[in-house]
Amino acid sequence: EAEVAQSPRYKITEKSQAVAFWCDPISGHATLYWYRQILGQGPELLVQFQDESVVDDSQLPKDRFSAERLKGVDSTLKIQPAELGDSAMYLCASSLAGGTGELFFGEGSRLTVL
Amino acid sequence: AQSVAQPEDQVNVAEGNPLTVKCTYSVSGNPYLFWYVQYPNRGLQFLLKYITGDNLVKGSYGFEAEFNKSQTSFHLKKPSALVSDSALYFCAVRDLGGNMLTFGGGTRLMVKP
């Protein structure tokens, strides 16, 4: 069964350091999402791509966060510099283009900022 | 703006008993509604969705959900709970033609033997 791949699964870093997460969506899925999930809360959308274009990044803290999907396939989410409040699970998901399809999630990347 | 409310932080039920996890939503227009389950330190797994048609939707692992337009609710149900159903459950909504999927805060389901 096709899966969304994410790496690393766990990352511990010190504040002010740079960190990057990678996501490879299910083959053929045009839409890719990055969500942040703080412990005990629901996921919140950071950025949504349609192919290589950003559809929605209104909740992305652009002073420190960046995301790219250069060839419309895999994607990287970067945080620089990391802050204590960035500790969370970063979830990548993908879906077929269109509004009715469910999202398929990866296992997530858990970030701890010390 | 669309939103989802899950009024219960935790639901406790005995194994073999029926369970209900509540969800209400707010969206302009007709909604697309989803339920996901999350096990510890894992990603979210899709359970079921309502797009249109029959108000009772059947999904994975014996779960079902009932769409009620007048009450703007989409409660998750299962006739007989299993200990292995213990997990975090999320309701989500997307408006017709929209892109963004908005999640509720989650409900922890605890099924005791």
CB contact under 8 A, B99 and A56: yes
Average pLDDT, chain A: 93
- pLDDT for position A49: 93
Residues contacting B9, CB < 8 A, separation 6+: B105, B107, B108
Residue numbers in chain B where pLDDT is lower than 50 = none
Residue of A nearest to B48 (CA): A102
Say which range, A70-84, A86-100, B78-92, has the weakest mean pLDDT: A86-100
Beta-carbon neighbour count of residue A79 at 10 Å? Answer: 21
Find chain B residues with C-beta within 8 A of A42's C-beta. 4, 90, 103-106
- pLDDT for position A101: 77
Burial letters A18-48, b for 16+ CB under 10 A, else e: ebebebbbbeebbbbbbbbbeeeebbebbbb
CB contact under 8 A, B44 and A43: yes
Average of per-residue pLDDT across A89-95: 95
- pLDDT for position A34: 97
